[in-house]
Amino acid sequence: MSEIKLFSLNPEVKELESSTVLLEKELQNIIENNMEQFFGVRFLKSEYAITSGRMDSIGIDENYSPVIFEYKRSTNENVINQGLFYLDWLLDHKADFKLLVIEKLGMDIAEKIDWSVPCVICVANDFTRYDIHAVNQMQRNIKLVKYKKYQNDLILFEHMNTPIAKPLIDSSTTSTTSSYAQKTHLEKLASASEMFKKLYESICDYIVSLGDDLVPNQLKYYLAYKRVQNIFCIEIYQKQIIVRVKLSPDSVELVEGFTRDMRNTGHYGTGDLEISIKNEQDFIKAKSLFDKAYNEA
């Protein structure tokens, strides 16, 4: 695997020595105390007990998806299979997780839980190429994160893979008789006109071109592109494509029918500025806002 080197510039250039040795609970405590800053996940509980073990840490992200953290402390520990087992257990015990969210964050958040792409984040001081290959073959939302701790209270997290997970869709929402509003993001995309499909593809291609640090996250009702937190959330409708961006509406001139302040309006996804794209001309105008959101995130 590639090696990242970290240097201090003052008073002279000096390579910082890294350490992969942490006390048994130190790594877990560091992440749990700073989970939202590091990974965009709200911490719920440590050592979450299940019928056949304990999940190291559990939380919920800004898309209201459950997130399990597992920490690999020894080279022979199969944290990936362990995390996969916990993920399957959680999917079979959704009511237990909902009760935990109610207890910690309240009923309003619990009612928004999205089970389409629950996530496992495996944190270790190293992974092999076989680990990464195995995870990519699973088509599950399992993320491998390598850590290194440095002097001067510095810690580095390197994301080793970009999982392409198939969303888990509730069969009750996939009926051909359901209303358009109840259809999933992928169902709406499949039924869109060819013109809208091409426009949607152009929007996604442009967002991806902004930087290779953007990671797609296919949710039930929208597609998000994120670094640590969402920067773009895309929904598709019959007459427009909506992109909500992480950008203050106060920083742009709002144009009726094109941009909208969403700070006090409920909606899927995240982002305070909504951009409505109905045609190629709207897309061209939106590019500068996409650039601004990416550069300021």
Summarize pLDDT for 242-286 with one digit per residue, the tens. 999 999 999 999 999 999 999 988 888 899 999 999 999 999 999
CATH hierarchy code of domain 172-296: 3.90.1150
pLDDT above 70: percentage of residues in the chain: 89
Helix 280-296 vs helix 194-209: crossing angle, to nearest 10: 30
User: pLDDT at position 72, please?
Assistant: 82
Q: What is the mean pLDDT of residues 50-63?
A: 92
Question: Per CATH, the architecture of 7-159 is what?
Answer: 3-Layer(aba) Sandwich (3.40)
Nearest-angstrom CA–CA distance, 6 and 17: 8
User: pLDDT at position 193, please?
Assistant: 92
User: pLDDT at position 16, please?
Assistant: 82
Q: What is the mean pLDDT of residues 9-16?
A: 85
pLDDT in tens, 83-100: 889 999 999 999 999 999
User: pLDDT at position 170, please?
Assistant: 54
Nearest-angstrom CA–CA distance, 118 and 61: 9
Q: How confident is the model at residue 2 (pLDDT cuts 50, 70, 90)?
A: low
pLDDT in tens, 192-225: 999 999 999 999 999 999 998 898 888 889 999 9
Q: How confident is the model at residue 180 (pLDDT cuts 50, 70, 90)?
A: low
Q: Within its chain, how far is the Cα of 131 from the centroid?
A: 21
Q: DSSP alpha helices (H): ranges in 156-226? A: 185-191, 194-209
User: pLDDT at position 22, please?
Assistant: 61
Domain residue extents for the chain: 7-159, 172-296
- Mean pLDDT comparison of 17-31, 128-142, 165-179, highest-scoring range: 128-142
119-124 and 142-150: which strand pairing?
A: parallel
pLDDT in tens, 153-176: 888 999 888 776 666 765 444 444
Nearest-angstrom CA–CA distance, 123 and 73: 9
User: pLDDT at position 175, please?
Assistant: 44
